Structure 1
Amino acid sequence: MIVHSTVASANDSWYPLSRMLRNLRHAPLLALFMAGPISHAEEAPPQYQFPEQFSERLRQINSRLRQINTEIQSLPVMSDIDARGSHGFHSNFTFGSEDNWFEVSWESPQTLDGIAMVPTRITTQSGIRSNYGFPGSLRIEATRHGESERFILAEIRETRLDLRRGEPLFLDVQAAGITALRFIPESLLTLPGKDVRFFSLAELMVYQGQRNIARGANLRANFSIDTEVGWNIHYLTDEQSSLGPPELPLPGKSLGWHGDVSRGATTPTWAIIDLGTPCEFESVRLVAARGDAPIKGPGFGFPARFHVEVADEPADGAWKLVWSSGDSDVTNPGYNPMTIHFPSARGRYVRVSIDKIHTTDAFATPRILLSEVEVLHGFENIALSRPVSTPDSFASVAHDATRVWSRAGLTDGHSSTGRLIHERDWVRSLSRRFDLICERSLLASEQARLHEYWDNLRVATIFGVLATTIIGLLIWQVRQRLHARATMITLRNRISSDLHDEVGSNLATISLLSEFGPTPGNLDDINRLSRETSLALREIVEINLASKRARKPLPERLRDIASLMLREQKWSFEISAFPVFDLEQRKHLVFFFKEALHNIIRHSKARNVRITFETTPPNFRLLIEDDGLGIQNTSSDAVAKLYTLRQRASSLAGTFTVESKPGEGTRITLLFPNQSCQ
């Protein structure tokens, strides 16, 4: 309900409640994406772990929903049973909405602080209509004393007829000097099958504090259907509506006074209330009981005729009549209270005498049923909790396992269904409850949209993770295949290079020697080269194609190479503690060693060779010395051989130095780290 006021704003917009959307659970894959249960309009607010953890707006909504449900529990509930009051005001059938206004006015200026309107609830051929003729939006215009122009006091833009079940609409306003209020509907529904509109209202309350100043005010309308049963503009202020008594849902133990049925329908009966001391009062309010409803209908047991008397002492002849229904039956108010106003009276004892009991049908035993009798001085019930006496043969009688009928129930402050409260507080609380339900409805709709968004995000995230995982696996498989192919190509290139470096030259030399014929020297060279080639092939296979560990320790392998290649020289091999190298480093070290010895055999003409392998933390040093010719020139062949040694040294991440003088031999030093230990 949206209200705009030039004096004060009434209850602002409140928000919807709908059923929560589906609850998806994917805990096995993502425990983070867990949601709570769905919620309903009349249930406690949901306690979500996700996605409330990530959404500030959802945290605000859930917090507000908890506040709303807590507040609603303390508010009165509108009865689902029609209290059977008068219908109220009914305008003419028109094509426009604003022609259906009505007005309430006073002879003297009034100060207002609240306005309440109760929609009409009637039963038609199509069923119960809770908001019969109630506008979707309306405007309230006011006239101040001494002014002829009306001003807008309040505008109700949305009365939420989709959720309203006949709940009263209460507006908090502050205005002084008001002499008239005009209620103008702006949006009225059409009758089914007819393009006509009408305005209907069951009850109007205009408050000064707790006082309803609409009662006794002047009423007029552009048009009012006053000739049909139940419809009259003056019914707007007769205290009769479909709502029933003003109460909180806190029933007492007693349902009220149940008269002795043995007294019959025409035998007078009475109830005397002892106020304790002489008091002044101006009205008496009677509230019907609901014990036998809905079997007998609203208002069953309410007296048809009665009168009110007052006395200082309950003696015969001391009673003074203050009000009487006379010879006509009063209109049965149903479950609504009936307030009897009279000039101020004073006395200690108040007697309500029943002159005639309603008879509903031939099958119902006439009886008196009243839930409460209030003696009012202003707005104070001075009869509350005061002793009651009746001519009945019993003080109380059981109704069921928990409730009783008792004469004391007439002044216990309870109707048959709840604790009685002030009318203004009651209609304001009913209106507040409806506003909270509207707010809760709108918040729950927003909550549902947010949860749908987070559910969609969660599902998208799950499928995204799955898709990313699958794509990642496919990419990993392709990369593995490409890596395996690249590794194979690298291995082939390395084997080719090693075969070319180690075997190719030896085979070419063997082929060349074989062309010179079988001389003893050639045969020895061919034999030596063949063994050297065989050793090289084993080395290549062992390093490139064998398992992760070589078959022979590296020191022994180097000794075998030296013994094979240095057959014509005297050589020594000195080695300290020898570490374990990985296969790649082992390969480059062996090839460096063989290349260095090969240069000695081919070029140095040395007689003695000294090989030393020692540890110089964190590095290792290979030292090869010979007493040959030394490096005599810088021929391209010698430079090429040195280039090969430098390449092998680079592959070992080491440094390579050569010290040589003509005729004084050559000293080759290789310094490198053990990469397998890094």
Structure 2
Amino acid sequence: MKIQTRLRILRIFSGHWKVSVAWFILFWAGRASADVAIRNIPGTLRQLRQDTAQLQLRLDSLPKLNDALQLEAYGYHGGYLPALNKLPSKPRWTLDFFFKDYFRADQVILVPAVDHRFGRVGSYGFPKRFRVLLIDDEGSETVIKEWMTEDCPDLGRYPHVLAVPEPKGNHIRIEVFRGAVEGDQEFIAIDELFGIMAAADHECDRMTASLEYEAPPYWARRYLFDHKSSLGLPLGVAADTADRKEDFATFFNEEPPGGCTIELDLGRNCLLGWVTLFPAQNSDGVKVPGFGFPADIEMEIIRESNGQRSTPQIVPRKWGMKRPGNNVVRLPASQARGRWLRITFKNLPEHNGRPTLALGEIRLYRLKEIYPVQSVSLEGFPENASAIAERLYDGHAAGKPVLFLTDWLQLIEQRRILQQKYSGNLLQIQTLEKRWKSFWMITTYTVICLLALGASGLALTSVFQRKKAVKELKWRITRDLHDDVGSSLGSISLTAGRLEEDVNDDRVKEDLADLALLAREASASLREVVWVIDQSEIRLPDLVKKLAQRAERVLTGKELKISIAASIPDQAVPLSFKRHLILFFKEVIHNCARHSCATQVRIEIAVDHDTLIVEAEDNGKGFEPDKVVDGWGLESLKKRAEELGGTMMLRAVPDLGTSVRLTIPLKSIFTNVDHRYKTSN
């Protein structure tokens, strides 16, 4: 989805905050993975799943790093130095490796260290900035590989395989300028260094280090070239369970006094280069590093001469390094030539209280030529051992095919690259699935919101139309009521007035006068009701004018003087204030019209400072305020004054008239308070 389109949609729906938030999320989700458009997600997911399935098949066909269960000999540790902010001009650690004179390195393999003591699963202490050099006989340096301008990539447990350019040599140097940093300390650690020539790893003759940290059995300089590493055995992919081949394992009641011997017949005289022994795996499933591997190994080679066996030739190199764990033991055959190789095993380990000899595979080769074994004979073994002797040269260990180290490392590197792509695909699939799910959730939510908004709009429109119709009906009823009832009330008032003039009975005249007064008051009240309905709000000046109009309508036949100040504040007043003030004023005017017998009435409405003053004065017969006078409603007037937040002053003198003065603070008028006291008259 294009950015302009998303912005346009955001503007359209910005009126509803939930919809805006939803589209905002969609907008940024689209930007986060803008390489795949929304419409292309389903097709991209199908392709990614197909590619991932193919990658899974390829990964299943490739070997993986095994857990070597390394309990000792973790490798070389360079000790701790203060961490530096700048790269030094000289190396902080220098390691020199010297191989045999005949050795010419084709490859250098650096295996990252793993500190099993603290449960770390990745590499530990691998150098960050360093270079690997080849030193020739004249001391000239050739850079094999260097990471000086950027940190060496962290491959985890995977080794770094470095190809050595021409000219070849047997002296390799590692110069480290920056190691791993923990806190304010810097250090380096390397598990193993393999020097490869002609596909075989050769032993390092000696090694020197400018700094080292000795902490056996975990860290020591010699562990860096002892052929023990955390890589595990170089094995291929396991066969199916039905075709799985078991390792050779024999249990003795007691160890033979002179050891036990395995003789391998190659069928012809061969120039041997290496004898490799693969440790076995315990058949009961318990992982025991180097299960059943002997502590001492001696080898002899016998030539065939004129069809006869010659005198055995002792191979000088022996094995006395105890158990190797899950590591291949490579013994040089010292270029000896012969047909029969005799390997004698002594100092056997015990398993469940019985001496045990177990081997996964014995491989004989020179360079990359593997010599096939024609037959095997056993000496000093139990009788049932011969039945499983073929397991010693079936090409499998721990149920997996054995591989050359270099071939295995190439496959491991392929797996690492494919695993990265596989993990990237899984992450992309997960991201796209979330985007697709979010898209549909947001789309569904948006549609629901739009439908809800549409329904709400229709409902509101219907409500507004109904309210408008009701309001119009109310206005029409009010107008009709005003025109009809108001006209009738006016007729009643006029008729009562004429009848009052025509009759002579004082009691009837008084009743007719009351009837005319009531008609006039009802007509005034009706006009006020219509006025209130027509107004959206009631303002104080308009309210004051309505009071004056009531006085004019009710006090007909009397001399009326009305004075309204021009300084009345033009502010809206609460409905409750309007009601109480009109009823208060109605009571006062009613008393003037009915009880006072006045001929003159003066009404003054003014503002003095912050106080509204409403005063009505007549020249009627008055009364004595201390005496209760029925019908005057004085108690009601007092209560209404209190409800208005003001005070009432009453001055009445018999035969001299009455004056009522109402004072109300303006601040109480403009405070919208729902008065609790409600009068009925």
Change (3 A) 1:110 1:474: farther
Q: Which residue of 2 aligns with 1:459?
A: 441
Q: Is residue 390 of structure 2 the alignment partner of residue 415 of structure 1?
A: no
Q: Which amino acid aligns with 1:119?
A: P
Change (3 A) 1:152 1:80: closer
Q: Which amino acid aligns with 2:114?
A: R
Q: Distance in 2 between matches of 1:72 and 1:272?
A: 38
Q: What is the RMSD of the two structures over their aligned residues, measured on CA atoms?
A: 4.1
Q: Which amino acid aligns with 1:121?
A: V
Alignment of 1:259-408 (within 5 A): 259=250, 261-262=252-253, 264-291=255-282, 297-312=288-303, 318-323=310-315, 329-354=320-345, 356-360=346-350, 364-384=353-373, 386-391=374-379, 392-395=381-384, 406-408=388-390
Q: Distance in 1 between matches of 2:265 and 2:343?
A: 12
Q: Distance in 1 between matches of 2:105 and 2:48?
A: 35
Q: Would you say the 8 A contact 1:85–1:240 is kept in 2?
A: no
Q: Which amino acid aligns with 1:170?
A: H
Q: Would you say the 8 A contact 2:108–2:162 is kept in 1?
A: yes
Q: Would you say the 8 A contact 2:275–2:331 is kept in 1?
A: yes
Q: Which residue of 1 aligns with 2:28?
A: none
Q: Distance in 1 between matches of 2:142 and 2:322?
A: 37
Q: Distance in 1 between matches of 2:103 and 2:291?
A: 39
Q: Distance in 2 between matches of 1:318 and 1:109?
A: 29
Q: Which amino acid aligns with 2:335?
A: S
Q: Would you say the 8 A contact 2:98–2:204 is kept in 1?
A: no
Q: Which amino acid aligns with 2:211?
A: F
Q: Which residue of 2 aligns with 1:618?
A: none
Q: Distance in 2 between matches of 1:55 and 1:113?
A: 48
Higher share in helix:
2
Q: Would you say the 8 A contact 2:100–2:204 is kept in 1?
A: no
Q: Which residue of 1 aligns with 2:60?
A: 73
SS of 2:452's partner is helix
Q: Which residue of 2 aligns with 1:204?
A: 193
221, 232, 235: which one aligns with 1:247: 235
The Cα of 1:422 is off from its aligned counterpart by 1.0
Q: Distance in 1 between matches of 2:65 and 2:262?
A: 30
Q: Would you say the 8 A contact 1:140–1:152 is kept in 2?
A: yes
Q: Would you say the 8 A contact 1:303–1:357 is kept in 2?
A: yes
The Cα of 1:91 is off from its aligned counterpart by 0.7
Question: TM-score, normalised on structure 2?
Answer: 0.53
Sequence identity, in percent? 19
Q: Which residue of 1 aligns with 2:73?
A: 86
Change (3 A) 1:219 1:329: closer
Q: Distance in 1 between matches of 2:445 and 2:251?
A: 76
Q: Distance in 2 between matches of 1:181 and 1:68?
A: 38
405, 427, 442: which one aligns with 1:445: 427
Q: Which residue of 2 aligns with 1:515?
A: none
Q: Which residue of 2 aligns with 1:504?
A: none
Change (3 A) 1:317 1:107: closer
Q: Distance in 2 between matches of 1:357 and 1:394?
A: 20
Change (3 A) 1:393 1:311: same
Structure with the greater relative contact order (CA < 8 A, sep ≥ 6): 1 or 2? 1
159, 174, 180: which one aligns with 1:169: 159
Q: Distance in 2 between matches of 1:74 and 1:468?
A: 53
Change (3 A) 1:206 1:297: same
Change (3 A) 1:376 1:148: closer
The Cα of 1:476 is off from its aligned counterpart by 6.0
Q: Which residue of 1 aligns with 2:113?
A: 120
Q: Distance in 2 between matches of 1:344 and 1:109?
A: 13
Change (3 A) 1:186 1:435: farther
SS of 1:366's partner is strand
Change (3 A) 1:364 1:185: farther
Q: Distance in 2 between matches of 1:438 and 1:141?
A: 26
Q: Which amino acid aligns with 1:66?
A: A
Q: Would you say the 8 A contact 1:111–1:178 is kept in 2?
A: yes
Q: Would you say the 8 A contact 1:322–1:342 is kept in 2?
A: no
The Cα of 1:352 is off from its aligned counterpart by 1.0
Q: Would you say the 8 A contact 1:120–1:133 is kept in 2?
A: yes
Query: For residues 153-208 of structure 1, what are the alpha-carbon distances to aligned partners after superposition, in whole Å with 9 as ceiling and x for unaligned?
Result: 243746447xx3xx322346462225544253645142xxx632321111123445
Q: Which amino acid aligns with 1:369?
A: A
Q: Which amino acid aligns with 1:182?
A: I
Q: Distance in 2 between matches of 1:203 and 1:441?
A: 28
Q: Distance in 2 between matches of 1:417 and 1:84?
A: 23
Query: For residues 473-518 of structure 1, what are the alpha-carbon distances to aligned partners after superposition, in whole Å with 9 as ceiling and x for unaligned?
Result: 45567889999999xxxxxxxxxxxxxxxxxxxxxxxxxxxxxxxx
SS of 2:313's partner is strand
Q: Distance in 2 between matches of 1:122 and 1:186?
A: 20
Q: Would you say the 8 A contact 1:133–1:198 is kept in 2?
A: no
Q: Would you say the 8 A contact 2:317–2:332 is kept in 1?
A: no
Alignment of 1:41-52 (within 5 A): none
Q: Would you say the 8 A contact 1:256–1:415 is kept in 2?
A: yes
Q: Distance in 1 between matches of 2:290 and 2:327?
A: 8
Q: Would you say the 8 A contact 2:132–2:146 is kept in 1?
A: yes
Q: Distance in 1 between matches of 2:385 and 2:65?
A: 29
Q: Would you say the 8 A contact 2:127–2:176 is kept in 1?
A: no
Q: Distance in 1 between matches of 2:141 and 2:185?
A: 30
- Residues matched between the structures, number: 417
Q: Which amino acid aligns with 2:312?
A: K
Change (3 A) 1:438 1:160: farther
199, 205, 217: which one aligns with 1:229: 217
Q: Which residue of 2 aligns with 1:424?
A: 406
The Cα of 1:83 is off from its aligned counterpart by 4.8
Alignment of 1:514-525 (within 5 A): none
Q: Which amino acid aligns with 2:225?
A: T
SS of 1:407's partner is helix
Q: Which residue of 2 aligns with 1:506?
A: none
The Cα of 1:414 is off from its aligned counterpart by 0.8
Which sections of structure 2, spanning at least 5 residues, go unmatched? 1-36, 85-90, 469-681
Change (3 A) 1:329 1:114: closer
